[in-house]
Chains A and B, each alone.
Chain A
């Protein structure tokens, strides 16, 4: 099949960007979306046009590196919910489709080039408290800290966040609540995370605000596009943790 791609091109963060139109030819349904762009980039290189810059690494939907908006929705979640764009196969599309590709749009995620943006704000939120303060060595036997199976499962539901930033990109407020809530809830659900629970939620929320992410207004767009389908219930859990801590 042949497709029309309208792609956001921007040389760097200092200059204005614009859409450019390309034709992707001889796309087969077995290709992944990123392999389709790879193929287009090969053609562009042959024509002396600089290839489209986009982030990807594991291409298995787990590293969270890939990140662009496809026809208005992060990761193209309207075609295949619960998946990162690196795992979106071309069999969801048909000959002649017109597709628009844009980078994540959020003040806290400045555009670096084309479809690549800077998500280091997420790392700074984790550095502010998204951990259990345990130095290496001298830990008790792992079975000395029993964890209810239900709690371990719930912690895992939250912990599987891949930090891609789609939740921010989907939110009209560019809020990072789902990302921060996932980490706060993961650690707050386990006994290991109790000691620092108060400082953790205050520090992480404080850093989230300082980075310029917006607030949550319960639109649930984040949950709808999350490649790991992380539930907004965790935002409620984070809010409870925050209220407890801020009292």
Chain B
């Protein structure tokens, strides 16, 4: 099967405008006859659900939390990019496009990334109009700051809580539509299967997490906006509830999974403190604007950081990457931190940490200046570690953060299953092998506010599809499958907890498919995952009942999916024997230890098709072509 990305013809800068004109429109009076399902209520889901409802479609929106306001987008801290060039420092749509393509190590689609850069400016206008309290200059205009991977200040922010404020903007737009009864909201409801009828996506099966009721919902199109799968690694910066179930169920119904091994390790997290840990906490990347990263020059230097003189410190990012310095992109900064810790120069308990030092910034800006920029992050660090970062440098270490892989989509954000759209982090489309800071919020909102609402109407206008109801046998079959699966979890009554399986899988993935990978380690993981999975289905212990709030039962389903998905992730990592972006393959490096891409053999999107349980997934390739940019080795020196 060939994958058609449906990229419009014509010059890069004109593709989206041309495409919008070519898209068929739905008569406003007919819009109310179409129904949509949006699964997920984060930046992508809430903005899409609100916008589709504003246009006149009937929308049902689902989230597993008790309120759409709790989606994990809320935890994004640093900012959102746009090519406004307000600071007059040479930014442009072309430059944002280029930085993003290069940051993604030339493994994303030109046309998608260019469109993202174009739309970025509209997003800021939209959010400002909603009342998002962006940071302002004294003259009343918007303030900007810089972020990793860019030499211009194009990041808009709302203190250290930008994701929160953008999400609340989208949530408020969504609640407005809920109040107008154009969106029906289903909180505490989880999608457990996708329903296909005659090759078309026609609905989903859900479980009400309070009553346990399994229900079907039919629609003319289904939109998945369910975020990333980083929790496959057990410890990550994701919220506890983040999971891959919705996209993985869709994969099992035929949707292709693209680049699952493209995961992002974030360089600035608070280091792991012990086995009890349930998640990792991210310190915003914006800290690297003013903080300097260093470790002692000498291995195992026992002195406290304030006792180590300048001459005995290694500011390794500034030394190795003089142009970008502490603002080197996330993959580069993460790998550099791992290297110095591997050399035995890491700091803090266990030696898995590096200093992020604000001494110089405090001298330059004063404590109050630093507090104004980063105060809430400093407070958070102090609460978690019990150390005062104004007195001693923070300790940070890389952690699993974001997933660039996801379901394959074309230029219209539609998967290979007709009628199934995938937006935000759940799709694979815009970040390639590495995501630049402040780009996730941009993509989620671009997809939800400004892309999907246009492209979705085109499919509806073209498809003269029949109405179906949830009485259709495909719905009944899917409901029965879901019920059987839930019953199975409860009937095993084994000896191990769900969590112990999750931790075992996650540790295996982190050690063998984390910041650096090699064929031997990946093969080892591929052999081990089916064993863990087999034991899970034989020996897991899920207490409680099906027809009530049962948090262990919820987790069991998610971990069962991670146990299958983890294998797909490792399979993808094994086949891609080049290094690119956040995926560092030890066999493929330069003499200086930098990642070495292999454009001749791997300039494609790897899209995996489910071939049936117990069979290896089938690889399809979407070749990546670059007309507007020259493929170049990524250098931040």
A residues bordering B, Cβ < 8 Å?
Answer: 11-12, 28, 30-32, 34-35, 38-39, 42, 45-46, 48-51, 53, 55-65, 80, 82-83, 87, 89, 91, 112-113, 116, 118-120, 122-123, 126-137, 139-143, 145-149, 152, 155-156, 159-160, 162-163, 186-187, 190, 192-193
Contact with A along B169-197 (1 / 0, CB 8 A): 00111011011000001010000000000
A120 to B541, CA, bound (A): 32
Are B126 and A57 closer than 8 Å at their CB atoms? no
Are A64 and B69 closer than 8 Å at their CB atoms? yes
Minimum Cβ distance to chain A for residue B295 (Å): 22
Q: How many residues on the B side are at the interface (Cβ–Cβ under 8 A)?
A: 81
Are B67 and A59 closer than 8 Å at their CB atoms? no
**With contact pairs A80-B383, A123-B67, A126-B172 given, residues A192 and B274 touching in the complex (Cβ less than 8 Å):** no
The contact of A35 among B133, B136, B179, B277, by CB within 8 Å, is B277
A65 to B500, CA, bound (A): 24
Residues of B within 8 A of A62 (CB): 74-75, 161, 164
**With contact pairs A30-B273, A83-B383, A149-B140 given, residues A163 and B67 touching in the complex (Cβ less than 8 Å):** yes
**With contact pairs A11-B548, A53-B549, A58-B74 given, residues A143 and B141 touching in the complex (Cβ less than 8 Å):** yes
A162 to B163, CA, bound (A): 12
A162 to B71, CA, bound (A): 12
Residues of A within 8 A of B134 (CB): 142, 152
Residues of B within 8 A of A53 (CB): 549, 551
**With contact pairs A32-B278, A35-B277, A131-B175 given, residues A59 and B239 touching in the complex (Cβ less than 8 Å):** yes
Are A192 and B128 closer than 8 Å at their CB atoms? yes
B21 within 8 A of A: no
Are B133 and A89 closer than 8 Å at their CB atoms? no
Residues from 334 to 388 in B contacting A, C-beta threshold 8 Å: 379-380, 383-384, 386
The contact of A130 among B70, B71, B124, B172, by CB within 8 Å, is B172
Minimum Cβ distance to chain B for residue A145 (Å): 6
The contact of A152 among B133, B173, B279, B453, by CB within 8 Å, is B133
Residues from 526 to 569 in B contacting A, C-beta threshold 8 Å: 541, 543-544, 548-549, 551-552
B66 within 8 A of A: yes
Beyond known contacts A57-B240, A139-B128, A162-B164: 10 more, CB 8 A cutoff = A38-B499, A42-B499, A55-B66, A57-B65, A63-B70, A118-B66, A130-B172, A140-B129, A142-B125, A149-B137
**With contact pairs A56-B240, A127-B176 given, residues A42 and B131 touching in the complex (Cβ less than 8 Å):** no
Are B276 and A60 closer than 8 Å at their CB atoms? no
Which of A127, A132, A142 has most chain B Cβ within 10 Å? A142
The contact of A46 among B66, B135, B497, by CB within 8 Å, is B497
Are A131 and B130 closer than 8 Å at their CB atoms? yes
Residues of B within 8 A of A63 (CB): 65, 70-72, 74-75, 239
A136 to B54, CA, bound (A): 8
Determine the residue in chain B with the shortest Cβ distance to A48. B543
Minimum Cβ distance to chain B for residue A64 (Å): 6
Are B75 and A187 closer than 8 Å at their CB atoms? no
10 A-B pairs with least C-beta separation:
A146-B140, A127-B179, A131-B172, A142-B128, A139-B129, A155-B133, A152-B136, A156-B133, A127-B175, A57-B239
Are A82 and B551 closer than 8 Å at their CB atoms? no
Minimum Cβ distance to chain B for residue A16 (Å): 16
B441 within 8 A of A: no
Minimum Cβ distance to chain A for residue B349 (Å): 9
